[in-house]
């Protein structure tokens, strides 16, 4: 279990991302209500997951590229600084990129999901986990001298993105479906009672991830 904790952490981080309405579940709920269809809620989860996965992939593969030119300690400091900057930005300025309305197509929704995940620094939250020793030990590549490289191979990175995205889709889907079902019984009262500003909590999570980048 000692070497399996990064996979659990990736799934839990995906679940945490799924809680954030800006990551897409509120969009899926809105489309479901507009179309008066539970199926529309489920269909919206596919482009949302693809857009989020694309943003995550871009971030983690960027970390991989920097890892080939920077020492591990320097890369961890760079990741920590970037996460802290994202957290500070989210805490001070909580504006979101503007979209073109709630009635969108597959490509529009996927792009919106990609944009929101990128703007919130969602992908960089995975970096501290990917740079932890258990993940680095999973690489099997060697250089010409036969020494193990301090990088993570593409297969491991791909698995990380998939596991994380599945965690997001699972939680986002449950939230959207529960709110959709609740709407037909009590309107939007469940959202009015449970709603809170997620930006501060997200900023705190970025600060925690910045600290983890230095300690893990």
At 50, the pLDDT band (50, 70, 90 cuts) reads very high
Contact in structure between 97 and 119 (CB atoms under 8 Å): yes
Using one digit for the tens of pLDDT, what is the confidence trace for 124-169? 899 898 888 777 776 544 443 333 345 566 788 889 999 999 999 9
Domain ranges of the chain: 5-215
Q: Is the pLDDT of residue 51 over 90?
A: yes
pLDDT tier at 91 (50, 70, 90 boundaries)? confident
Q: Report pLDDT for 167.
A: 95
For residue 78, how far is the Cα from the chain centroid?
A: 19
What is the C-alpha separation between 115 and 126, in angstroms, rounded?
Answer: 17
CA distance 29 to 24: 9
Q: Residues 120, 20: contact at Cβ < 8 Å?
A: yes
Provide the percentage of residues in the chain whose pLDDT is more than 70: 77
Q: How does pLDDT run across 165-201, given as a tens digit for each residue?
A: 999 999 999 999 988 887 766 655 555 555 556 777 7
pLDDT at 203: 84
Tokens 């900057």 found at: 85
**Which pLDDT score is estimated for 60?**
85
Find all residues with CB under 8 Å of 7, minimum gap 6, and list them: 159, 160, 163
């Amino acid at each position: 279990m000692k070497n399996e904790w990064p996979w659990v952490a990736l799934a839990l981080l995906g679940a945490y991302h799924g809680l954030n309405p800006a990551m897409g579940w509120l969009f899926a709920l809105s489309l479901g209500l507009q179309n008066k269809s539970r199926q529309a809620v489920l269909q919206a989860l596919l482009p949302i997951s693809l857009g989020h996965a694309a943003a995550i992939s871009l971030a983690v593969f960027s970390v991989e590229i920097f890892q080939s030119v920077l020492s591990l300690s320097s890369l961890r400091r760079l990741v920590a600084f970037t996460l802290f900057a994202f957290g500070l930005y989210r805490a001070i300025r909580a504006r979101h990129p503007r979209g073109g309305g709630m009635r969108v197509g597959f490509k529009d929704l996927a792009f919106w999901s990609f944009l929101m995940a990128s703007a919130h620094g969602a992908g960089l939250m995975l970096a501290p986990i990917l740079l932890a020793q258990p993940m680095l030990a999973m690489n099997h590549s060697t250089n010409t001298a036969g020494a193990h490289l301090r990088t993570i191979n593409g297969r491991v990175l791909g698995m990380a993105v998939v596991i994380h995205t599945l965690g997001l889709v699972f939680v986002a889907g449950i939230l959207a479906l529960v709110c959709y079902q609740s709407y037909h019984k009590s309107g939007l009262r469940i959202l009015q009672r449970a709603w809170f500003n997620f930006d501060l909590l997200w900023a705190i999570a970025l600060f925690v991830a910045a600290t983890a980048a230095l300690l893990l």
